[in-house]
Amino acid sequence: MVGAFFTRLPLPPFASVRRRLGLTAWLAVCASRAVGQPPAAVSPATTIHREYSALNRHDLDGVFAVYADSVWYSELSDSGVVKLTTKKQLSAEFAPFLARNPRGHVTLTHEIDLGPFVIADEVMSGAADGKPFELIDVSEVRGGRVVAELETGNIAGTPPADVQQADLTVRRADDAFARGDAAASAPAYAEPVLFHVWGEDSVQHVTRAKLQQGFQNVLAGNPGMRFVVVDRIVAGPFVVVHERLTGMVDGKLYDSFDVMEVRGGHIVAEWECPWQLSDGGM
């Protein structure tokens, strides 16, 4: 959400905020891993569906057949930092889980597809311990291969009151942005919020004031700008928002997504991806 206005729009005031891996460098890394991979005509969603089909066959090799040899990976935790790992390492770590749950079956209950990104709310039944299992998984797919992934731990045990609180907290902020009132969004955020930029291996501690100023700067350059929520996922303490900007001075539509973690009635962490040119689909 407001963090999106801080680093992702193609506007000069925010170019200095992106550190380490800028978007251009990030895409170059992803492209280098896609050499010799399946044609780009394979959609990211199709790639991820192949992964889950293999998972439900308990085919470990099939699961990781859709992964690049090198993958940026992190758990979605407030202080988690993305690290470069390998398909081999991820497979070795996942193998015991698959072996322990021979009757496990994963269902995608909600999916958001945006450019190279697939965000899935997945539920597994048939766990060996009989307990519910749910997580949010964010995958970036380039050239038919998963090149980056963020995922939560098991959030199925989140108390319903906490899930509702997460939903209401983010809606409060969304409504403020839709009105163009950044100040009204402030109470929804922790002070500071842990801010993760897709493609960077660092965490920024960003104050409410700085987030509001970022929004106001963009609004000043785009007085007709409107913030619209296209779709959302609410699961455990996490809320994923597929958002769109209209009314920009360049006449284009921009889509993006944010993943927010809510604790104690405040957004404590936010993960955001670069803006994508939108086709206007809902």
Q: What percent of the chain has pLDDT over 70?
A: 82
Domain boundary among 104, 119, 151: 151
Asked if 147 and 44 sit in the same domain, the reply is yes
Contact by Cβ (8 Å): 275, 245 = yes
Per-residue tokens: 33: 């891993």
Q: Concatenated DSSP letters for 210-227?
A: HHHHHHHHHHHH-TT-EE
pLDDT at 201: 64
Whether 100 is covered by a domain: the verdict is yes
Q: Which domain holds residue 165?
A: 4-11+158-277
Whether 19 is covered by a domain: the verdict is no
pLDDT per position as a tens digit, 48-90: 999 999 999 999 999 999 999 999 998 887 666 778 899 999 9
Which runs of E-coded beta strand occur in the chain?
A: 67-75, 83-86, 105-114, 117-125, 133-142, 145-151, 189-197, 204-206, 226-235, 238-246, 254-263, 266-272, 276-277
SS3 71: strand
Asked if 72 and 147 sit in the same domain, the reply is yes
Asked if 145 and 181 sit in the same domain, the reply is no
Whether 261 is covered by a domain: the verdict is yes
Whether 108 is covered by a domain: the verdict is yes
Asked if 168 and 78 sit in the same domain, the reply is no
pLDDT at 282: 56
The candidate with the shortest Cα–Cα distance to 46, out of 187, 171, 145, 147, is 145
pLDDT per position as a tens digit, 7-36: 444 432 222 223 333 433 333 434 444 334
Instruction: Give the CATH number of the domain where residue 45 resides.
Output: 3.10.450.50
Asked if 132 and 115 sit in the same domain, the reply is yes
Question: Which amino acid is it at 133?
Answer: F
Kindly state the average pLDDT of the residues 187-214: 84
pLDDT at 257: 92
Asked if 109 and 213 sit in the same domain, the reply is no
Asked if pLDDT for residue 233 goes beyond 90, the answer is yes
Whether 239 is covered by a domain: the verdict is yes
Domain boundary among 86, 121, 151: 151
Contact by Cβ (8 Å): 136, 120 = yes
The total number of structural domains that make up the chain? 2
- pLDDT band at 180; cut points 50, 70, 90: confident
Asked if 166 and 264 sit in the same domain, the reply is yes
